[in-house]
């Protein structure tokens, strides 16, 4: 039986379980998918103990590490789905890192990025393609 993971249709996804919400042609919000917390090759555990966030103003490159998540059993590098400048980090995660696993598409977002080119999103998957991707991993 296939587990049902929450995959909002208004988001774009990466093969390494990141999501991006396009706010406008320059601003995106980024986080980890619901599935990332089930896949032992990704984060694997919802009990997040700590998250190291990037500094505001930092330039991040697509597919390069932008944050680190520590759970009871793993330390995982989180890759940025797009290149850009960090405009804002989710300060709530510093006080309550469990939000990233308990509410990945809401209060658990990681950063807001200013991107230079919306064409970068063309390499990301919509929710249907991402669903097929994770179904193929099971």
Region 20-25 average pLDDT: 95
* 82 or 49, which is more confident: 82
Q: In terms of Cα–Cα distance, which of 79, 88, 85 is closest to 112?
A: 88
Task: Answer for the pair 80, 86: CB distance below 8 angstroms, yes or no.
Answer: no
Q: 111 pLDDT exceeds 70?
A: yes
Q: 55 pLDDT exceeds 90?
A: yes
Is 2.40.50.100 the CATH number for 12-137?
A: yes
- Label residue 92 by pLDDT band (50, 70, 90): very high
Q: 45 pLDDT exceeds 70?
A: no
pLDDT at 124: 97
Q: In terms of Cα–Cα distance, which of 6, 13, 87, 88 is closest to 46?
A: 6
The mean pLDDT value of the chain amounts to: 90
Q: 38 pLDDT exceeds 80?
A: no
Q: 62 pLDDT exceeds 90?
A: yes
The residue extents of the domains of the chain are 12-137
pLDDT at 1: 35
Region 107-116 average pLDDT: 96
């Amino acid at each position: 039986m296939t587990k049902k993971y929450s995959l909002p249709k208004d988001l774009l996804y990466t093969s390494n379980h990141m999501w991006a919400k396009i706010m406008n042609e320059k601003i995106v919000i980024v986080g980890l998918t619901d599935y990332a917390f089930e896949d032992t090759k990704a984060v694997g555990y919802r009990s997040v103990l700590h998250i190291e966030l990037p500094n505001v103003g930092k330039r991040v490159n697509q597919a390069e590490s932008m944050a680190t998540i520590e759970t009871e059993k793993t330390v995982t590098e989180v890759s940025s789905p797009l290149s850009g400048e960090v405009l804002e980090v989710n300060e709530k995660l510093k006080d309550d890192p469990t939000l990233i696993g308990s509410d990945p598409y809401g209060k658990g977002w990681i950063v807001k990025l200013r991107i230079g080119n919306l064409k970068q999103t063309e390499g990301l998957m919509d929710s249907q393609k991402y669903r097929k991707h994770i179904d193929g991993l099971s």
